[in-house]
Structure 1
Amino acid sequence: MYTYLLNRRGHYHFRLRVPSDLSQVISSAELNKSLKTKDLKEAHLLARHYLQRIHTIFSLFRAGYLDHQHVKEQIDCVLGRTRNKPESLKATAEVPASLSTYPTHRLSSIISSFISDKQMGWSLKTKMENEASLRLLLDVIGDGAIENIDRKTASLLRDALCILPANVYKVLPGIPVSRVLEELKTGCSSHPPMSTTTVNKHLSRFSTLLAYCVREGILRSNPAEGMTLKRKRKADEERKAYSPQDLKMIFENLRYHDSEPERYWIPILSMYTGLRLDELCQLYTEDVTEYDGVHCISVADTQDKKVKTLSSRRIVPVHPRLVKLGFLAYVRKAKANGQLRLWMNLKRRDADGYGSAYGKVFQRFNRKYITNDPLKTFHSFRHTFANSLKQQGVQESLIAEILGHTNPSITTGRYGKRFQPRVLLEAIKKLEFELD
């Protein structure tokens, strides 16, 4: 029996014990709701809906979005919403967060519904990022009626974001955002502002929230549409490729140790495959295998792995230089030892996957031995890889497939099949780095 279901005289009820940290907010020890069904499967689906909605409200309260009164109001709203048994099980499984049933369209209520609706399709990291952006939104413009948000409100938000520091809650803990803004405007406080990229991420999430309101019939138009800032640098200037001298210094300073093989192999693999940091750090031994007689690395979202986009699912041939350096021998040994993952030292973090800790390790190495240029990071390997293939005359669609980008050509992207492994290998063979 599911712990959140209770059978009373043949009818199922939803039951959830109130967490201890919310006992002062919610007077009862348990939340209850009759599901008006005798069918266990249907009751489970209904209860899962209520569980998801209420846990979202709890999370928003803990993150500082909602005060005590709003928590009570939203829980009452959720538990009082479904009066009749749905016409079909499908309808039950997809109970929409209909915003028209909210007594008022307070911004916090809309955020709660928005997150609840979207979170099933989000990774934990995406959920946390959206929650952080929307918390900041609430603190800047206040918890008023969503209908009162107009173009002027969106402009004021953008202006505020442009002067606020990144990670304001960590940089200035315990200080209300309104006070931080006041001190920044009057010159009483001085902190580096967040980057244009970060401002645009917050604005984009704000716009997505308002677009959701348009779809739900709450707003007629999206006042935040087109509010993002123009980038000060061109896209190809936001990260720099490593120079030949940088690559040589990296290779010379890398040292192989049996106890920490990832510190040696991951930079070199990125150099010769163009794989992202997370893609490399999450690899399993079975991901290195043969396709049509070509040794390849498979990038997929199987097991506990994730990919950035659907286009990121791909195979990338192993460069002959990697074979010469002993990478395939390392993989064979790992498989023979019963090792499931390539890098057993790396631990997965729910929000960040396997790459977070190693990224910090590499950045210390990068700054100590290679460069202090802030535009040169681990991602520079990917830029180096792409630029090197481009300079060798490799066609753009080939580079896009190897990197896991959407095919830039509509015709070949829609109607053409993926390149054969041998075709990809011939392209990768054109990479020539003078490391010795």
Structure 2
Amino acid sequence: MSVQRLIRRNSVYYFRCVIPRRISAVLNRKEIRFSLKTASFGEAKRKLVCVNLLIEDYFIKIRQKIHINKYSSNFTVRDIMKFNTNKALALADEYASQTKGDKRLSSEEMLKSYLNKTETNEDADAMMTLYHSEDISDELYYYKCLCDRYDYEVSAEKELKLAIESGLCKYEDLGTSILVQDLKKAHQKKIELKRAATEDEDYFDVMDVCAHSGKPKSPQKETCSKHYWEDVYKAFKSDPDNRGLSQSTMQERYLRLGTVFRLMDLKNVEDISVETVRNLRRKLMEYPVNCRKLYPKLSPEDAIRQGKADGRKTLEVNTIDGYITALSSLCSYAVKEGYIANNPAAGQGMKKTWEDAKRESKARLPFNEEDLERTFSVASYPKREEDPTRFFIPLIGLHTGMRLNEICQLTVDDIQIAEGVNVINIQKDGDKSVKNRDSERLVPIHPNLVKLGLLEYIEKRKKAGANVRLFDCSKNGRGYFSDNFSKWFKRYKDKAGVRSNVNFHSFRHTFAVKACEANINDKLIDALAGWSKGHTVGNISMQNRYINELSIKKLDKAVLSMAFSEVQPLIEQYGNQNPVNTKEESEGV
């Protein structure tokens, strides 16, 4: 059940209140949020009654200060008292404990008991009506000025009704005598100013001067009640629900959202609608690959037109779906925080056609026998002593099914012995990342890698110190260690005459093919390669739970049964040689 100003984070309830525009501009903040320090929904609701009235009282006092000092040039935000959350919580705790089980205690009675109010009910109602009337008056003022829908013939009462029906304010049951009086004065002043203005631009500049806060404002101040997508994303990044996501994943989402909002030509999350998402999807289907690199000076629309003219390849279905998913995640967070009512991007992802699935399967081909022989040809393959990084990484990819970044980020401490078996420990630790929960795993080292001198190389690297990188791979700006190696491998395999529709990731698919040829069951293949094909219950991966119950001996037995005859020439070349030197030793360091 949703309750206004009440949110839940990690089983604890929080108070969250959006600060009204006039006060927000003075305080230079958009909301007040703090923990109610309870996991009980009933207790949180009782505390909320008290805190709500404390907040309203706080806002009234600030409005009075603003009104009294609006003509003072020395008035600053430091003159505004801060909201005392500790005092509010103490009063809320007392109120919640004394009203437990008593649903009849009204907010007026609480106001007298816990805020020491001396006003009569009529006085309190008058104060609240004044507070609400000023808020509505501001809403109507900006609504007319900036939407250009002001009609001087319409009465203030009808304008109020229009605002309420348009959802511009939430106060429907008000005494409107003060409101109407204020509106009429403001309307008359605006008429006079409009007659004196010569240009629409000047009109809006002058109109802002007569706002109720008494401070000049630009028309852009309308957006102060809205939320710029980058600001929402910063809050989204720090949300506890995202604590398991890697920095590179969040950075990738940020880059995708930048493209999304440029294509939608929007800046605020409140302006997103289902129609804008549909238009976005159509634009993404025409969006050229590497568009910003190809056309850095063109607008998205011009880039799309130029891409068509140049015959550029457009985004794949999976990529488009990734953009929509990034937007949907942001919108879901905005809904949770109360910025928007619903998620317009939900269910707007791309559905794959039969042609898409067929094209995707072709794009993920494994290496065939000829590809592997060309890749690991003794004549063209990098020499172990000269470049152990380029020598070992493709071989590890073939024999373990590891992702390229998983290999490039390895440290010497990741090579371990478990149950008497040499294993590679793939884990998220420090600046090392994994794709998902199931990617953390132990992979036994294939005997071919031992014959090729991997363990000797590791022992040499350990002499450089603990936690040293196993290979010479540097991290790029997005947090990946694999960027430079990926570019080199593409150049190498093209030069070796390997098919164009395979890449380093094809080693994972080749590993799966080799495992099937060895009659290894699907669960063991998933455990070795870190594929997440299992289901989850809550945040617990059933696949991961199954994998954890597998013994290293079973995994090692599966690895031993896999044959990689294509690397036999390399084994014959290096199997009987002296232990491999590290790069430092090769260079004489």
Q: TM-score, normalised by structure 2?
A: 0.53
Q: Report whether the alignment pairs 1:382 with 2:503.
A: no
Aligned match of 1:362 in 489, 494, 498? Answer: 489
Letter of the 2:517 counterpart: Q
Query: Cα–Cα, structure 1 residues 141 and 329, in superposed 2: closer, same or farther, change >3 Å?
Result: same
* Mapped contact 2:288–2:304 kept (Cα < 8 A): no
1:252-303 C-alpha deviation (Å, 9 max, x unpaired): 1323243420111000111111111011111111211210100111111224
* Mapped contact 1:261–1:343 kept (Cα < 8 A): no
1:23-422 matched pairs, under 5 angstroms? 83-87=82-86, 104=223, 109-118=228-237, 121=243, 122-143=245-266, 146-181=269-304, 190-231=311-352, 232-234=356-358, 236-252=361-377, 253-336=380-463, 338=465, 340-374=467-501, 376-406=502-532, 408=534, 413=543, 416=546, 417-422=548-553
User: How far apart are 1:150 and its partner, in Å?
Assistant: 2.5
Which structure is larger by alpha-carbon Rg, 1 or 2?
2
Residue equivalent to 1:73: none
Task: Between 376-385 and 280-289, report the one with greater CA deviation.
Answer: 280-289
Letter of the 2:369 counterpart: P
Q: TM-score, normalised by structure 1?
A: 0.71
* Mapped contact 1:363–1:377 kept (Cα < 8 A): yes
Letter of the 2:234 counterpart: I
C-alpha separation in 2, matches of 1:173 and 1:307: 32
**Which runs of 5 or more residues in structure 1 are unaligned?**
1-31, 34-78, 89-99
Letter of the 2:416 counterpart: T
1:366-395 C-alpha deviation (Å, 9 max, x unpaired): 111042423x00000011001221232211
Letter of the 2:370 counterpart: Q
Letter of the 2:83 counterpart: N
C-alpha separation in 1, matches of 2:491 and 2:412: 27
1:201-234 C-alpha deviation (Å, 9 max, x unpaired): 1111111122222222333332222222233025
Aligned residues: 347
**Which runs of 5 or more residues in structure 2 are unaligned?**
1-27, 30-77, 88-168, 170-220, 569-589
RMSD of aligned residue pairs (Cα, Å): 3.3
Query: Cα–Cα, structure 1 residues 388 and 188, in superposed 2: closer, same or farther, change >3 Å?
Result: closer
Query: Cα–Cα, structure 1 residues 428 and 86, in superposed 2: closer, same or farther, change >3 Å?
Result: farther
**SS state of the match for residue 264, structure 1?**
helix
**SS state of the match for residue 298, structure 1?**
strand
* Mapped contact 2:228–2:267 kept (Cα < 8 A): no
User: How far apart are 1:200 and its partner, in Å?
Assistant: 1.5
Letter of the 1:197 counterpart: N
Greater relative CO, 1 or 2 (CA 8 Å, sep 6+): 1
Query: Cα–Cα, structure 1 residues 339 and 127, in superposed 2: closer, same or farther, change >3 Å?
Result: same
* Mapped contact 2:428–2:440 kept (Cα < 8 A): yes
* Mapped contact 1:397–1:409 kept (Cα < 8 A): no
Query: Cα–Cα, structure 1 residues 149 and 303, in superposed 2: closer, same or farther, change >3 Å?
Result: closer
C-alpha separation in 1, matches of 2:250 and 2:473: 23
Could you tell me the percent identity over the aligned residues?
Answer: 26
